[in-house]
Structure 1
Amino acid sequence: MVDPDGGAFITVGLNHADESNLKYPHNANIWREKYGSRERWIREGVVKDLKDWGFNTIGWTQEYISGDWGVALDWFGDPIDLGHSSTGWSSADFEAANMPYVLQLRVQEMEDWNGHPSFRDVYSRDFDVYCEYLARNICFDHAGSKNLIGYFLVDIPAWLPHASGEDFEQLKGLSEAERNEKLFDVATKYYETITKHIKSYDPNHLILGDRYNGNKGIPSAVLRAMQPFVDVLSIQYFTEPTEESRNGMRDDLARWHEETGKPVIIADIGNWTPTEMNPHRTSGIEDQSGRARDYIDAINTVLREPWFLGWHWCAYVENKGRGWGIKDPYDEPYRDFVGPVSEFNKGVYGVI
């Protein structure tokens, strides 16, 4: 990417900066004594941390607050219902931060993590009016921002059949082949409708598109439908801490890039290990040093690819729902993770 001053820009983002993680009974005193206001938390907490750690972008700010992450990864299993915080950052918050950032327009409530999805009729006047409202409500205030990178749409949308069995009415009862054929038409109308309204209010910034679920897969019909309307292929991808898994991510991203011709952002990627508050969050990683090694190895797998625009890491402050973060539940960084990751982040431009 190119920044407003004409310089090359790789987005190194951090997701889920949500102040509610510091307002539990166990840590509310830290919020009151250390910050006391949202603006101070943004300036002296989020912005300071991101810059100290070599991150240059405020990623998707909604936070995962409930549910069971182990079940969440079984997108084809029983219906899941993972709550996310409903409040994002305002335009005034981003002005106070004065850092590059992204925004999201929740065009449909059809996320893979949503146990009660809603699939609006994309051909209806109501959908058109709703998309116009989203653009008017969100894009209007950010159209002139020098820090905005662009707009995400739905977080891991269920373009493949949703675990709950819900689907667009036009796709219900169809065979797999019939569904794939009709899916192209539905997705085309979806992207055409929301992007025309975004561009009517803000012609200046990128349309980053849906944050696809790379671990589940992306239908070719949807990728073909998005091509004329979306600038960037944005994909969530969580790897196992193995070379095979990381190479699998690179190969998947490269294939989807070839299929669409779009550059790629990894919109969400992360790892975890047991902690004092969340000992049940087990993985193939034993400690925070192991998390740092896996972070570096995962990003190095794709960093030199010519189609790669950057990544947004999950997540900021550890909470009871997600169970991991760069900071512990008491707002202290996990030093064994932060040290190597900060050095790596700050050396990205030298590598590429």
Structure 2
Amino acid sequence: MAKRRCFIKQLIAAGAGLTINATARSVSAAPVKTTQPAPDGFFTLGRQDDHWWLISPDGQPFFTVGINHIDPATLRYPENIDLWRDKYGGSTIRWIQESVTPNLHDWGFNSVGWVQEVTVRKWQHSRSFTIDEYRALDMPYCHLLPFTESHQWEKHTVHYDFRSDDWKEWCDYVARAHCGELAEERNLIGYFYSDCPTWIHSRPDNQWRGPIFDPDRLESEAGRKELIELATLYYATTHDAIRRYDKHHLIFGDRYEANAPIAKQVIDAALPYVDVLSFQDFRDPVTHLPEYHRQTGKPVLLADVARMRWQTAPGEFTHNEGEWYAATLQQLFQTPGCIGFHLCGAYQRNRARRYGLLDEREIPDSENVPLIRQANHRITQQMKTRFPQVQ
């Protein structure tokens, strides 16, 4: 059965003019290399005329248009918990099946980028979905592996010692707990690591711990070599932990903050151990992502992005700007190295994030949701026009 799926995938890809990763076999003389030992029947990567695409388990080109931050706790405030109890019977599975998936399809999203949501500002995110909740979602999705807690917005956790046996044991545990369960899931696109890790930068709220690596040490050759050694150990350890339990899925690695300092040594160390370079960029992704693709040759993913008014007070809410979303999505879709665009949603606003496509009573943003829907459906139509063989 696996060989038959591979053969069908190759036929579809050949009809679309694509080069794909098909283990040792390929439809052209220049196979796309990924970290996947066994990609057949799972999401992988392909290329046509220097344009990179995700390739779905069925062999079809796929540009991920996803939404981030989906948390049912938003429906459990004292003021709206009646909806949770009366409409969904207190069931997260029902809520996903009856609210989340239908709305995402209607709004034109074809994937979920990352489900975890802000709980309290500059605090930890909510939990990820369980495997049963992902199955209820019944859409392609990405999953974040909590190897580190070095997020630029988080202010409580010390940095891990990547050279220690304890951290290596922790990586194996994370992979065993997450990848060991998700390894055969065809809707899983790939794995993220840390959200905006502070490799060589910090923020005012976590200045006390400083960056993972002192940027002043990059002034010397010895310091640059030390960062390469440390980052290589980090990416090799996380990669190897995943591959012990999951031979199939893509690795997206850290979600770098494009508007903070990023050490070249870190990117270079990651390249052999990740399949895609992932970025958060709330300022100028149309400039930054193509530049990283040109510098490295790796496909890139805009893993978190939005435009709204950031400075809001408790009780004050803001909106995603639909016109900006539409223009930016279209430009990145046309960028040869970009494989997707994930909106920093959220699905439903809460009182910490203060923005979302639905309000607390499940009423959609009447101004911006139609603009987002139109933009997403435009991408779907352009994909159908570009690849008529796979419809």
Q: TM-score when scaled to structure 1?
A: 0.86
**CA 1:271–1:174 in structure 2 vs 1: closer, same or farther (change >3 Å)?**
closer
Cα deviations by residue, 1:298-323 (Å, 9 ceiling, x for unpaired): 21222201111111112111111111
1:20-58 deviation line (CA, Å, top 9, x unaligned): 111112221121222121111010111111111111112
Q: How far apart, CA to CA, are the structure 2 residues paired with 1:276 and 1:173?
A: 32
The aligned residue for residue 121 of structure 1 is 161
Is contact 1:15-1:268 (8 Å) kept?
A: yes
- 8 Å Cα contact 1:223-1:259 kept in structure 2: no
Residue aligning to 2:217: 175
Match of 1:306, as an amino acid?
Answer: P
Change (3 A) 1:329 1:122: same
Equivalent residue, structure 2, for 1:228: 272
Counterpart for residue 269 of structure 1:
305
- Cα distance between partner residues in 1 of 2:114 and 2:263: 24
8 Å Cα contact 1:62/1:84 also seen in 2: no
- Within a 5 Å distance, the mapping from 1:66-105 to structure 2 comes to 66-67=120-121, 82-105=122-145
Tell me if the contact between 1:263 and 1:309 (Cα under 8 Å) persists in the aligned partners: yes
Aligned residue for 2:13? none
Distance 1:278 1:296, change over 3 A: farther
Residue 202 of structure 2 aligns to a residue whose secondary structure is coil
What is the root-mean-square deviation in Å for CA atoms of aligned residues?
2.2
Q: Matched residue of 2:61: which SS? A: coil
Q: What CA distance in whole angstroms lies between the structure 2 residues aligned with 1:208 and 1:223?
A: 12
* Counterpart position of 1:191: 235
Residue in 1 that maps onto 2:17: none
- Evaluate the alpha carbon distance shift between residue 86 and residue 327 of structure 1 in structure 2; reply closer, same or farther with a 3 A threshold: closer
8 Å contact kept, 2:124–2:154: no
Consecutive unaligned residues of structure 2, counting only runs of 5 or more, are: 1-53, 384-391
Alpha-carbon distance change, 274 to 101 in structure 1, aligned in 2, over 3 angstroms: closer
Deviates more, 1:172-181 or 1:272-281: 272-281
Deviation at 1:279? 6.8
How much does 1:174 deviate? 5.4
Asked if 1:212 is matched to 2:252, the reply is no
Quote the offset at 1:134 in angstroms.
0.5
* Per-residue deviation, 1:281: 5.3
Query: Alignment partner of 2:114: what SS?
Result: coil
Cα distance, 1:276 vs structure 2: 11
What is the aligned-residue identity percentage? 35
**2:187 maps to 1:151:** no
Distance of aligned partners of 1:97 and 1:210 in 2 relative to their CA distance in 1, 3 Å threshold: same
CA displacement at 1:217 relative to structure 2: 3.5
1:264-319 deviation line (CA, Å, top 9, x unaligned): 1111111225999967556xxxx77xx11111112122220111111111211111
Q: Indicate yes or no: 2:376 matched with 1:345.
A: yes
Q: Which region of structure 1 is more displaced relative to structure 2, 53-62 or 220-229?
A: 53-62
Aligned length: 323
Rounded to whole Å, the distance in 1 between the matches of 2:218 and 2:59 is 46
CA positional deviation for 1:124 = 1.4
Distance 1:2 1:168 in 2: 36
CA distance in 2, matches of 1:270, 1:251: 15
**CA–CA distance in structure 2, aligned partners of residues 107 and 223 of structure 1:** 18
Q: What does residue range 235-246 of structure 1 map to in structure 2 within 5 Å? A: 235-239=279-283
Amino acid corresponding to residue 334 of structure 1 in structure 2: D
Unmatched 5+ residue regions in structure 1?
68-81, 240-247
Q: Give the drift of 1:166.
A: 2.2
Deviation (angstroms), 1:337: 1.1
Match of 2:92 in 1: 38
Q: Is the 8 A contact 2:68 2:112 kept in 1?
A: yes
Alpha-carbon displacement from aligned partner over 1:180-225 (angstroms, at most 9, x marks no partner): 4422211110000010010111110000110111121421111101
Kindly tell me: are residues 341 and 121 of structure 1, through their superposed partners in 2, closer, same or farther at Cα, counting changes over 3 Å? same
- Partner residue in 1 for 2:62: 9
User: Where does residue 290 of structure 2 map in the other structure?
Assistant: 254
Asked whether the equivalents of residues 200 and 211 of structure 2 are also in contact (C-alpha less than 8 Å), the reply is no
Aligned with residue 306 of structure 1, among 301, 326, 336: 336
Distance in 1, matches of 2:334 and 2:215, equals 44
- Other structure's SS at 1:161 match: coil
Matched position secondary structure for 2:273: coil
Q: In the alignment, is the contact (CA less than 8 A) between 1:191 and 1:225 conserved in 2?
A: yes
Aligned twin of 1:243 = none
Aligned letter for 1:313?
L
Moved more, 42-51 or 160-169: 160-169
- Equivalent position SS for 2:367: helix
Secondary structure of the corresponding residue to residue 175 of structure 1: helix
Which residue of the partner structure matches residue 320 of structure 1? 351
1:65-86 CA-partner distances (Å, limit 9, x unpaired): 222xxxxxxxxxxxxxx12334
Asked whether the 8 Å contact 1:209–1:233 carries over to 2, the reply is yes
Q: Is contact 1:105–1:154 with CA below 8 Å preserved after alignment?
A: yes
* Shift in alpha-carbon separation, 1:84–1:27, aligned structure 2, 3 A: farther
Is 1:47 the counterpart of 2:101 in the alignment? yes
Does the 8 A contact of 1:273 with 1:324 survive in 2? no
